[in-house]
Amino acid sequence: MNQPTAAGKPFKRLLLTGAAGNLGRQLRGALAQWADVVRLSDIAPLDDAASHEEVRAVDLADRDKVMQLVEGVDAIVHLGGISIDAPFDDLIEANIRGTYNLYEAARRFGVKRIVFASSNHAIGFHPVTEILDADSPQRPDSLYGVTKCFGESLSRYYFDRFGIETVCLRIGSSFEEPKNPRMLVTYLSYRDFIELVRCSLFTNRVGHAVVYGASDNPVKWWDNAKAGFLGFNPQDSSAQFSGLFPVTAPTAERDDPAQRFQGGAFVLGEPMERKQ
């Protein structure tokens, strides 16, 4: 795939799921530079579409609607779904059934590449003293993390069986600024997030790849050397926010599991029942 040139944009039509969310809103501007038409989808309202954007209100759990949603797109950035721990039945619909529906639609309509928003919670039960890379085993810290492991495995299968390429982004904490000391390690600036998506869409022959989404923070838990072919070089750092929190070195001996493990407080969650 090529970078945008004066001759035209590389994609005719890109699909963004989760477009109404925190990261979806950040990405919309960039996608406009990469595709003639950006198809935005969410279950939450999206009512401020620009002329190059087409809005589809779709629940990812609705297979027929997802089929219609995916028809005619060249590539997908899949951010949609539940983004925190939640009752199992809700996670099943949005993150398990929803991601399956999306990949199955991609297979049916010949979509060649998907950028999948996985999460650091797919590996959150590794201790903070370990440095992980793309081959480190999944150790989900929550049922939410389990659904991200499912997405990583599903996308692996759809690549091995059908050749659909995926870059799984194990995103750290992508917000305006870190909200707690842990996020000084896991922080991914919005600018670096957008660059990571750009690299994931435009690098040739990614196959099935796993990459960690963190800025160039002073303390690192994740080594992206094995995803070096993506050319992702974060420009930002949480160092600018270091004054927000007291500095404490990571240690495996801490009593508090929320400090011992990379997933932070997620490791303390309990399976939840859906409130009727």
Distance of closest approach, residue 67 Cβ to ligand 15L, in angstroms: 27
Task: Select from ligand NAI, ligand 15L, none the partner in contact with residue 79, using the beta carbon and a kind-dependent cut-off of 5 to 8 Å.
Answer: ligand NAI
The letter for the amino acid at 181 is P
Pick the closer one to ligand NAI by CB: 23 or 123. Answer: 23
The letter for the amino acid at 203 is T
Task: Select from ligand NAI, ligand 15L, none the partner in contact with residue 24, using the beta carbon and a kind-dependent cut-off of 5 to 8 Å.
Answer: ligand NAI
* Buried/exposed code over 211-233 (b: 16+ C-beta within 10 A; e: otherwise): bbbbbebeeebbebeebeebebe
Pick the closer one to ligand 15L by CB: 26 or 173. Answer: 173
Task: Select from ligand 15L, ligand NAI, none the partner in contact with residue 81, using the beta carbon and a kind-dependent cut-off of 5 to 8 Å.
Answer: ligand NAI
Instruction: Tell me phi and psi for residue 254, to 5 degrees.
Output: -55, 140
The letter for the amino acid at 199 is C
Torsion-angle region of 8 (φ positive above 0: left; ψ -120 to 50: alpha; else: beta) = left
Find the binding residues for ligand 15L in span 135-194 (CB under 6 A). 173, 183, 186
Q: Kindly write out the interface string for residues 81-100 of this chain, putting x where it contacts ligand 15L by CB under 6 A and - elsewhere.
A: --xx----------------
Q: Is 125 helix (H, G, I), strand (E, B) or coil?
A: coil
Specify whether 144 is catalytic. Answer: yes
Residue 124: Cβ-neighbour burial (10 angstroms; 0-12, 13-18, 19+): buried
Distance of closest approach, residue 86 Cβ to ligand 15L, in angstroms: 11
Task: Select from ligand 15L, ligand NAI, none the partner in contact with residue 80, using the beta carbon and a kind-dependent cut-off of 5 to 8 Å.
Answer: ligand NAI
Torsion-angle region of 232 (φ positive above 0: left; ψ -120 to 50: alpha; else: beta) = beta
Task: Select from ligand NAI, ligand 15L, none the partner in contact with residue 237, using the beta carbon and a kind-dependent cut-off of 5 to 8 Å.
Answer: none
Distance of closest approach, residue 187 Cβ to ligand 15L, in angstroms: 9
Sites of contact with ligand NAI (CB under 6 A): 18, 20-24, 42-44, 59-61, 79-83, 93-94, 98, 117, 119, 171, 173-175
Contacts of 2 (CB under 8 A, 6+ apart): 10, 202
Find the binding residues for ligand 15L in span 100-129 (CB under 6 A). 119-121
Distance of closest approach, residue 121 Cβ to ligand NAI, in angstroms: 7
Task: Select from ligand NAI, ligand 15L, none the partner in contact with residue 59, using the beta carbon and a kind-dependent cut-off of 5 to 8 Å.
Answer: ligand NAI
Residue 84: Cβ-neighbour burial (10 angstroms; 0-12, 13-18, 19+): exposed
Find the catalytic residue in 100, 103, 144, 158: 144
End-to-end CA distance of the chain: 47
Q: In terms of Cα–Cα distance, which of 67, 38, 72 is closest to 55?
A: 38
Residue 173: Cβ-neighbour burial (10 angstroms; 0-12, 13-18, 19+): buried
Pick the closer one to ligand NAI by CB: 117 or 206. Answer: 117
Contact residues for ligand 15L, defined by CB under 6 A = 83-84, 119-121, 173, 183, 186
**Active site members:** 144
